[in-house]
Amino acid sequence: MTRKIITGYSNPTIKFVRSLRDKKHRRRERRFLAEGLRLLTDARESGRLPELLLMATGREAHPLLDDLEQAVAAAGGDVIEVPLDILAKVTGKDNPQAVCGVFVEWDTGLSTLDRAAAPIWLVAQAMRDPGNLGTMLRTADAVGAGGLILIDDCVDPFSVEAVRASMGAIFTQHLAQARWSDFLVWLRGGPGQLVAASLREAVPYRGAAYASPCFVMVGNESRGLPEDYEMACDLRVTMPMKGRADSLNAAVAAAVLAYEVLAALN
Amino acid sequence: MTRKIITGYSNPTIKFVRSLRDKKHRRRERRFLAEGLRLLTDARESGRLPELLLMATGREAHPLLDDLEQAVAAAGGDVIEVPLDILAKVTGKDNPQAVCGVFVEWDTGLSTLDRAAAPIWLVAQAMRDPGNLGTMLRTADAVGAGGLILIDDCVDPFSVEAVRASMGAIFTQHLAQARWSDFLVWLRGGPGQLVAASLREAVPYRGAAYASPCFVMVGNESRGLPEDYEMACDLRVTMPMKGRADSLNAAVAAAVLAYEVLAALN
């Protein structure tokens, strides 16, 4: 196996990889970055390989890294060694991981989803925080959901921060992006119960009549869900709020609700 | 009421306020920053007033801001007007809030806690992410917890990010910081059930025998809880993990567990 070695920061490949930290370039190139051996191993085990693998020179040897390198090369991808300081600049971290990969984005249309494949789906509307989005993917994996559907203008799920927060679930969970009106048409084209945490005409979240496939929806971090979105739901549920605040962090609300749905459907 | 007006970025007061973005300066000064009218109003309603209030010149009038200004002045605090661009540099945000306050930190020793005051307490060990820490404070408020106890080396709960993520709960929830050994001595000095999410000799989290006051503990984001910490718990519970991952985001795990405890104790 041959490896390329790049030692200069101005190398076009390095510039290209670095550019993928910006959403604009990700959209244009339809590619994104994932960092760290654990994340890249999760990807490999989920059948996703980077088309380009960057490894730091002088990294510690690791059998999983050997496996990854061989798989990328066998699939026709590029394996490149770079000095650690260049890798640090690419990934923008002071303490960079010793490995980073460039992945081709995949289709995130609603038509790629098979709603019958799982009893729970998570839905986020206008979610702005990449950490929350990645955390929702991670929660979706944990509750055995089919995936995450992003409604309206959400933060980019392929951002470095969201990919990192997903702890690998970006590679295992299905992901769709749609406008609200298109989502509603798709949803009503088959079985599916749309559930939102709400204060409007809501029933207690414990003991509510959840039904599979159940689509658990949370809204924007600051504004919550628009009222007409809530009213379009099949079920509105409310969680106890014992303190001064009237809402939970969006990713937390989705998780508490999703675990309740999981228990109810089992 | 007289207001000072500061127009220069090199003014010592501005430099002082800006320095509070750094942990080192917060520790030395025992003061921290909170931004935004909503957060400062939460603080006021919880009986906490900033000793220094910065307001942008040209801000929109708001009755809550008038209330805040009067309360700060009445308590002997300083109210200062600054141009928006200076306020932006102080708070380090492109889109700064029009108001920001400097608060005196309070005592966070274990002896300040009254365990009998609430049926649930949250405990975080070596938590590194300020967003997770703030989110746990927000969750604690929502489940009617007494507060959050930080074990070992956690991120600073008075960082701007943690204060923001707490959505005001930093001002309503009790907060304590302690080493594990000191916490255990304190805990065993009175009633209290220590519960952790764990994979070791654990029972299902639903239907477990929770007891008040219940201390719900989660560990570091990467490493989880040390094994001996888990074994010191009165109850170890496990949550379903249906996917590839074996853990949830720490703040999410705390919330799912805390809501279960809340339901069980009611």
Tens-digit pLDDT profile for residues B240-265 = 999 988 899 999 999 999 999 999 99
B204 CB within 8 Å of a chain A CB: no
Instruction: Compute the distance between CA of residue B236 and CA of residue A6 in angstroms, rounded to an integer.
Output: 50
From A127-141, B76-90, B172-186, B206-220, the region with the lowest mean pLDDT: B76-90
pLDDT per residue as tens, chain A (266 positions): 567 888 887 889 999 999 999 999 999 999 999 999 999 999 999 999 999 999 998 888 899 999 999 999 999 999 999 998 888 888 776 666 789 999 999 999 999 999 999 999 999 999 999 999 999 999 999 999 999 999 999 999 999 999 999 999 999 999 999 999 999 999 999 999 999 988 788 999 999 999 999 999 999 999 999 999 999 999 999 999 999 888 999 999 999 999 999 999 98
| Cα pseudo-dihedral B225, B227, B233, B237, rounded to 10 | 70
pLDDT-derived band at B95 (thresholds 50, 70, 90) equals: low
Please state the φ and ψ torsions of residue A63, each to the nearest 5 degrees: -60, -35
Instruction: Compute the distance between CA of residue A80 and CA of residue A61 in angstroms, rounded to an integer.
Output: 15
Under an 8 A CB cutoff, do A138 and B248 touch? yes
Q: How far is CA B258 from CA B14, B80, B225, in A?
A: 41, 41, 17
Task: Determine the average pLDDT of the residues in B220-227.
Answer: 94
Based on the domain organization, do B78 and B117 belong to the same domain?
A: no
Based on the domain organization, do A116 and A238 belong to the same domain?
A: yes
Based on the domain organization, do B136 and B200 belong to the same domain?
A: yes
Tokens of A49: 């390989």
User: How many residue pairs bridge chain A and chain B with CB atoms within 8 Å of each other?
Assistant: 110
Domain span including residue A171? 110-265
Based on the domain organization, do A54 and A129 belong to the same domain?
A: no
pLDDT of residue A2: 63
pLDDT of residue A128: 96
Nearest beta carbon to residue B141 from set A141, A173, A245:
A245
B199 CB within 8 Å of a chain A CB: no
pLDDT-derived band at B228 (thresholds 50, 70, 90) equals: very high
Based on the domain organization, do A100 and A29 belong to the same domain?
A: yes
* Listed residues B63, B82, B104: the one ending a domain: B104
Helix residue ranges per DSSP H, chain B: 12-19, 23-29, 37-45, 63-74, 84-91, 130-142, 160-165, 169-172, 180-187, 227-231, 250-265
Q: How far is CA B47 from CA B40, B73, B103, in A?
A: 11, 14, 12
Residue B21: strand, helix, or coil: coil
Using a CB-CB cut-off of 8 Å, the residues of chain B touching A242 are 141-144, 262
Residue A44 has a CB neighbour count (10 Å cut-off) of 19
Based on the domain organization, do B42 and B170 belong to the same domain?
A: no
B202 CB within 8 Å of a chain A CB: no
Number of domains comprising chain B: 2
Based on the domain organization, do A63 and A192 belong to the same domain?
A: no
A169 CB within 8 Å of a chain B CB: yes
Domain of A29: which CATH number? 3.30.1330.30
Based on the domain organization, do B197 and B243 belong to the same domain?
A: yes
* Listed residues B104, B126, B150: the one ending a domain: B104
Give the DSSP letter string of B80-116: EEE-HHHHHHHHT-SS--SEEEEEE-----GGG--GG
pLDDT-derived band at B5 (thresholds 50, 70, 90) equals: confident
Based on the domain organization, do A116 and A231 belong to the same domain?
A: yes
pLDDT-derived band at B87 (thresholds 50, 70, 90) equals: confident
Under an 8 A CB cutoff, do B249 and A139 touch? yes
CA B118: distance to chain centroid? Answer: 17
Tokens of A170: 């970006």
pLDDT-derived band at B94 (thresholds 50, 70, 90) equals: low
Q: In the beta sheet, which residues pair with residue A100?
A: A35, A54
Domain of B148: which CATH number? 3.40.1280.10
pLDDT of residue A198: 87
Based on the domain organization, do B75 and B123 belong to the same domain?
A: no
Nearest beta carbon to residue B142 from set A144, A248, A255:
A248
pTM equals 0.94
pLDDT of residue B2: 63
Helix (H) or strand (E) run with residue A123 in it:
strand A120-125
Residue A245 has a CB neighbour count (10 Å cut-off) of 18
Based on the domain organization, do A92 and A141 belong to the same domain?
A: no
% of chain B surpassing 90 pLDDT: 84
Based on the domain organization, do B51 and B150 belong to the same domain?
A: no
**Whether the predicted pLDDT of B132 surpasses 90:** yes
B135 CB within 8 Å of a chain A CB: yes
pLDDT of residue B60: 85
* Listed residues A72, A104, A136: the one ending a domain: A104
B81 CB within 8 Å of a chain A CB: no
Instruction: Compute the distance between CA of residue B187 and CA of residue B232 in angstroms, rounded to an integer.
Output: 11
